[in-house]
Each structure stands twice: as C-alpha cells, then as structure tokens.
Structure 1
Amino acid sequence: MTTASAISGFDPDLAALPAVAYHLDFSQHAAEVPQHVHRKGQLILALHGAVTCRARDEIWIGPPDCGIWIPGGVAHSARTTDNARLNYLFVEPGAAPLPQECCTLSISPMIRAMVERLAREGGDYPPEGHAARMARVLLDELAEMPREQFNLPISGDPKIRLIADALTLDPSDRRTLGEWARHVAMSESSLARLMLRETGLSFGRWRQQLHLIVALRELASGTAVQNVASELGYESVNAFITMFKKALGSTPAQYFAARRNGSKDRSPEYL
C-alpha cells in the first residue's frame, strides 16, 4: 500500500488566519514530500527524528533547537527520517517581519511550546480570542529569533547538481576532485573553479559540509555514531568524531546534549 504524502491532507493557504500550525507523524506518511509551493511562509520544526529540505539550490537541515524557514512562494521539497514527528507553522505573508529568503532560525523553548499548542487549535480557530492572541505573540517572538546557517549550497549548474545528487545518495563516495572532473568531462582546475563560483566553497569544504548535514540528520534521528561514521565512509569512529568536533566544537554526544539544554558551544566552523 502506498503511503500518502504529508501535504495531501490539508491546504494551508485556505486559512486566512495570520498563523496556523499542524502536527505530522511521518510513521503515517511517505518520508518524501515532493516539490510544492504555497502562498504562506512555512516554519518546519522537528520534534523527533530529522528533516532536510531542498529549496533554491540549497539543502537545509534543522537541528534540535532550530527550525527551517521557507518564505511563501518558494518551491521546496523535503525528506524526513521514518520516525520523524514535525510541527509545521504556516504564516500569512506580511503577518510578521520574517526573512525573505530560506534560512534556519534558532527556536526558543517558548516558541516550540506555542507552536505545539497552536497545532491543537487546527486551521479554523476564531480570529479573536485566546488562540489568535497566542498566534500574534508567537509571530512577534519568531521575528526576533537569530538566523543560523545549517545549509549546503548545491547550485543549479547541471554538473555540480550531478555531483551533489550522487554524493547525497551515497555520501561514502570518496572520489577525488580529479576523478569527479573526469566523470563530468572537465579538467580538474575548471571543476575546482566552477565549484567555488557556484557554491562559495572548495570541493573539500563542500563535501565536508555535506557530511555534517548528513551526520546531523542521522544523529538527530537516533542513528548510532558508529553507523553514521560507516555511512559517511570514515575508516574509524574516531576519525568521524574528530571531523565533527573540528567543525562544530564538540563531540556528537556533547553537541546534542548542549542543544537539548538550550546552550551552544560556539559558532560552527563550516555550517
């Protein structure tokens, strides 16, 4: 039996309210949410498991204390882990001074709790009353949240997209820049320049950022560190932990413990 897409059960644009929230359990839906677009802006919060989104030639992930913000009118797709439980917050254009481009936003425990509470109201609560007042406060608070850059640029260039798609499918692929250059029929120096121009990163930095995106998604879903290291092609768990700590300032266990407690060690080096 084919599992229905998460977006097949409701249309957020039907509600004229400034903000509406929905709760989704992906044990009941297909993990892949196909590309779609809606008028309202969307904030995606992972309560359990993990979600990655593609929008405007970038991949975005929301760690435990962040949400992925997608402005209205931006085509996007998403993929979740099988155990993911998400809250979606849809925001009417102009209802709050939120970013005009995709980004990750830090999310306070209060905002997370308010979105959860609003999700219990559905999409047809009275425009005046407790839920409406809570929605207004929620939007005011959300507009104050700082941005974080948990994203991977993937570019619209067909050759960069080919490499990105291949490595996203198999992040353990350890082909060198020269090997990829031969694969896409370019010189190594030309591919290096193209990668830097299109993504702002060298090939080595770009691939490491991809590994961090995948690692954060899998670790957030509960996958063991040993399994994540193997999935990414590291020869040892220690080598993976060393990479993770260099980029994010702490080991995976320390990183997720700090995020659950609402603290951050330092700004990430790569993300």
Structure 2
Amino acid sequence: MENNIKSLTKACDELGLSYEFIDLDHNFVRVKMDNGWQYFELNKTPFNTEAAYCICQDKGHSYQLLKDVVRVPKTLDFLDFNVSSKYSKYKHCNSIAAALTRIDENFTYPIVVKQNKGALGTNVFLCANALDTEKAFQEIFNHQSKYYDYLALAQEFVTTKAEYRLLCAYGKPIFAYQRGSAAATFNVKYWENGEQAQRVTDMVLFQQLADFVQPIHNEFPMGWVGYDIIVDDKDDLYLIELNASPQFNNFIEHNSSEPVIELYKHALTQLSKQG
C-alpha cells in the first residue's frame, strides 16, 4: 500500500467512513459515502473534475488560464516541428530556427525549457543559450523516447530563493512544505539529491502562500491541488504549476503523515456534502 492510500484510509477511519480494497496490493480502493461509492487509485482522486485534472496536467493551458490572475513566469509554447500535417495549423513556428528567433524576441537567457505534460522533473532544462535550447527541443520532441511530448514550453527563468508546495482541498489551504533547500541551484529533482521536503511552520509564510493563490480559487476552483510556488530574489511569489495528483512520499518520510491525513479528511468531508 502506497502512502497516498495509507493516508486516505486513515482519514476514512477517523471520519468513520467505510471502504473496500479492490486490488490485492491495496492501492485501489472505494469509499462509501452518502452520494455513493467514490474511487481512489494511488494518487488519483475523485475530488476534481476530469477537465480540471487535464488543465492542471497541461502547463500551457494552466498558464493561459491564470497568467492574468496571479504572477507566473512568461511562457511560450511550441508544437513539435515534425508533427503530422493535419496539426500544422497549430504551429507557431515551423522549425527550430524559427523557434529560436521567437525566443530571442521574447526572452533573455537563461530560460527554462520543459515538456508540456511532464511530471517529477522529467525533461526540464535550464538553457544558457540557443544551443542548449535546441538540444532541449530535440530531447522533448524525440519520437523514440518514452517521455516524448508534442508540445514544449519556453519559460522565463526566475532566480529562486526558495520553492514551496501549498496543498489545498476545496479552496482551503491545509499545509505547505519547502521543496528541498537548494532551489537556487535549479534542483528540479530535489528528492534524488538527498534534499528533504520541510514542512512550513512559519504561519506568516503559510498565510502569504495562501493569500497568493486565493484569486485562483475564484477563477478555477479545484477540490484537490498542490500549488508549486517559488520566491525570487526580490521576495516576489510566482506560480510555477498546478498538481492535481500530488504524491507525498518525500514529505511523509521526513515529516509526518498527519497533515496529509488532514488534507484527505477535509476533502472527503466536502465531497460528502455534494449531492
């Protein structure tokens, strides 16, 4: 049984909700609620609509939706230059050379280039120049790679003092943690480098993070989301991305499962109120 499901079942026990395991490994479970069975699989939950989940997964669409709501790094999207001709109408650039020109017109180096629907820091590159950017595009658009994505994003690089994830359930901030302690070194896979998730106990900072994302709740309400937020060298906050199916392994290993259980408890309670 994985940590997400462990925390879910503990939340159900504390709320007095009955549940049944469907698979032998106990990572697929259904919870009995007044409005019927609700299904959970690993880190996937019924707290968001399918559309909300897809918007969170699509970093380009998230940017377009929220760029006028909260501060986010400027972002441009690029469709695979070798995509099928039936999708050519969606291309903004027909070649790497054209893409590099567009980037030069909109950014100064360094920049971040990443795949649109990546997760866990895969295919995220800090590019110091056009050659680095070309290599990043080639990696993302590699049709032989299991991480292939047909859409790549070029993003303004923000010098980072710290990076946080704020976990919210139905608009209520429950807890936050710092994602490692070496964010300034572009440590996108901090957990692989011995870095730890550190729970935010400073309530002034926690409220600052909560206030920052508050406008999003009005524009794009979600039942279950982790907001990835960075603080730059001027102490300005930027939203980097949304995660509709966060995992908590590193956080639980170095902190406690109690905040995750509270997150599930609040989400389950709110879901039970929906007819």
Q: Shorter-chain TM-score: what band?
A: under 0.3
TM-score by length of structure 1 reads 0.25
Work out which structure has the larger RCO, using CA pairs closer than 8 Å and 6 or more positions apart in sequence: 2
TM-score by length of structure 2 reads 0.25
